[in-house]
Amino acid sequence: YPSGNLAIMVARDKTRLICIVQEDKPSNAGIQAVFQSNGRNTCYYPNRAVWINMNIQGGQYLDQAGNRVRRWTWPNSIMSSGAQVPLSPIFISLNLYVGVRILSQDKITVSFLAMGQQAKFNVGTKAQVSDVGRLPPSARLSEDELLLLAFRVRILRLFDRLRGCLNFPSNEQWDKIKPPAYLITQTLKILQFCTVSDISDELRSSVRAIVNA
């Protein structure tokens, strides 16, 4: 961002690439969008509510209260029931500088515009029909287990910041140092689980508040 805060980063998690859009904050920046090369993508409102959620079969657009505004299926997906619903192009602004344009499964663009310059990232993917049958089963975690995972990540992030403060006590910028990649990955996995799992809105909000605190 013009402020110097990190806006977009791309990381590798084993065989996947992950593109992350962060808030314009110097520390504890919240996640505004996550795009994965396996087709699982999520955009969030400023209040952390899910805005757009996509997977290998299609996607849905929600309002800030969690009500579904529209849904669609990708042309090459296999739905177990119901007619396929085509996608109408979508463009949203995550903040003043970052926008997302969704035209098709393989044409999803994250654009960054600031100070007269623009950068674009193509985060779409073209999943094969056969991939649907190989989707891994969703993990089944109890509410207590999910909360424990969230608190574990939060504690590890606090320890990481404490180490930074102890190692560089005279560095006034230590609080701007981002957490290590493995903690970012674990945070994304927990947030993704909250998005796709059948859990209460109260629990979903609590977990997001813990990991984004």
pTM of the model: 0.60
| Token duo for residue 80 | 């177990």
Phi, psi dihedral angles at 161 (to 5 degrees): -65, -35
Partners of 92 in the beta sheet? Answer: 100
- Provide the number of structural domains found in the chain: 2
Return contacts of 50-54, CB within 8 angstroms, 24+ apart.
Answer: 50/195, 51/92, 52/90, 52/92, 52/100, 52/102, 53/195, 53/196, 54/102
Whether 92 and 171 map to the same domain: the answer is no
pLDDT tens for residues 110-160? Answer: 999 998 889 999 999 876 544 444 444 444 566 777 788 888 888 888 877
Domain annotation covers residue 64: yes
Residues 93 and 172 both lie in one domain: no
Q: Is residue 154 part of a domain?
A: yes
Residue 17 shares a structural domain with residue 116: yes
Of 56, 87, 122, which residue sits at a domain end?
Answer: 122
What 8-state DSSP symbol labels residue 173? T
The answer to whether the beta carbons of residues 43 and 59 sit under 8 Å apart is no
**Tens-place pLDDT, residues 87-117:** 889 999 999 999 999 999 999 999 999 988 8
Residues whose CB falls within 8 Å of the CB of residue 201, separated by 6 or more in sequence, listed in order: 66
Does residue 108 share a domain with residue 24? yes
Q: Are 99 and 186 found together in one domain?
A: no
**Within this chain, do residues 104 and 148 fall inside the same structural domain, yes or no?**
no
Residues 109, 38 within the same domain? yes
Instruction: Determine the structural domain holding residue 47 and report its residue range.
Output: 8-122
